[in-house]
A and B are shown apart, each in its own frame.
Chain A
């Protein structure tokens, strides 16, 4: 049962990369000046930024505490339009809220002209594929949605790079993003700067503007891109990366994440 659920979510995470729906993790507060309080975190799949459309199962939602430990939220609720997690901020520092399953392998193929997919990497696929499968491609896919919340003094532990999959490194702490200031972000794939990562930066309120005012970016040869938030408010950074890789487990990699954050008043 648990496996079936995870597979379902993994499939949704994967599918969300293909469809217009975007998974977002949006805390009620990004900054707190008191320990021992709670925040509510909205998790939803949406078309317009921060406009909740579909609640998501939160089996794969975790909280990384300032000391680096990974825990489950105090309570979760899955609604039709959005899901919610209650998160306790017992100690000072920076917390990471993340929905995701880590890297998964999908093998897609054609059988008599029909596209099919199974969950297997390159080593496992031979045993599972039908004899007459054609156009077999195994993709390493990962999609996650995250946000950082800081109580009092910002800390670094939950920002540490794992050197695995698509990751990011800001030139400042996420709690220090201020409207009007330039921010440089480095995107990394398996710990190395990744060129050609596609990024979209959007902000809340699209429903009430004629122009969504989304900004598209692409990382340069050193894996970097620069943005500045035009006004204070809540933003969503969406990143996606696709490449052919010569690995034992996959032919292609397709990874992405969404990061919600706030740009503070100057």
Chain B
């Protein structure tokens, strides 16, 4: 309890330091067939499609991580500690919010420029969706809406201050 003021101070520091990308993501509820929660990975690539920052991966057993084909090839297969650090449990249908703080995997703020937000979802007995959404990372605003697919519903990108 007595650490609360310090925590607040730290929070307000990082908030004023840099903007962040807010990612609203929907996982749809399929109408047919048996349902297993999808494996989902969300990450940022630079203009050369090189991974810059793994934001989050939702997965269970290692056996099926390879089915996130691009994620596996770009990041998953080579950096187990990073994957473990960003792993969360799989999630069912619903709306979720993720935040990218504008930093790379080593914690350094990225330079201004063009980036890709990449979202990949694969579901057992279901399909696979890949979204590669370009965005500009500088002082300008971000307001992007990505049309829903079968495994990834509507995605909305906005700029936030934390």
Residues of A within 8 A of B (CB): 31-34, 37, 150, 152-154, 175-176, 178, 264-266
Contact = CB atoms under 8 A, between A and B. Distances in A.
Contact of B69 (A34, A152, A265): A265
B78 A153 contact: yes
A264 B69 contact: yes
Nearest to B122: A265
B66 to A, nearest CB: 4
Interface in B38-80: 61-66, 69-70, 72-73, 76-78, 80
Nearest to B69: A265
Contacts of B78: 152-154
A33 B73 contact: no
Nearest to B78: A153
A31 B72 contact: yes
A154 B77 contact: yes
B80 A152 contact: yes
B70 A266 contact: yes
A152 B128 contact: no
B63 A37 contact: yes
A33 B69 CA distance: 11
15 contacts: A31-B72, A31-B77, A33-B62, A33-B63, A33-B65, A33-B76, A34-B63, A37-B63, A152-B77, A152-B78, A154-B78, A176-B73, A264-B69, A264-B73, A266-B70
Contacts of B80: 152
Interface residues of B, number: 16
Nearest to A35: B62
B131 interface: no
Contacts of B77: 31, 33, 150, 152-154, 175
Question: In terms of DSSP, what is the predominant structure of the interface of chain B?
Answer: helix
Nearest to A264: B69
A264 to B, nearest CB: 5
B156 interface: no
B87 to A, nearest CB: 13
Nearest to A154: B77
B70 A33 contact: no
- Most B CB contacts (10 A, CB to CB) among A31, A150, A154 go to A31
B130 interface: yes
B130 A265 contact: yes
A265 B76 CA distance: 15
A33 B130 contact: no
Given A153-B77, A154-B77, A265-B130, A32 B66 contact: yes
A56 B156 CA distance: 55
A152 B63 CA distance: 11
B137 to A, nearest CB: 23
Contacts of A175: 73, 77
A34 B61 CA distance: 9
Nearest to A30: B66
- Most A CB contacts (10 A, CB to CB) among B61, B64, B73 go to B73
A81 B3 CA distance: 71
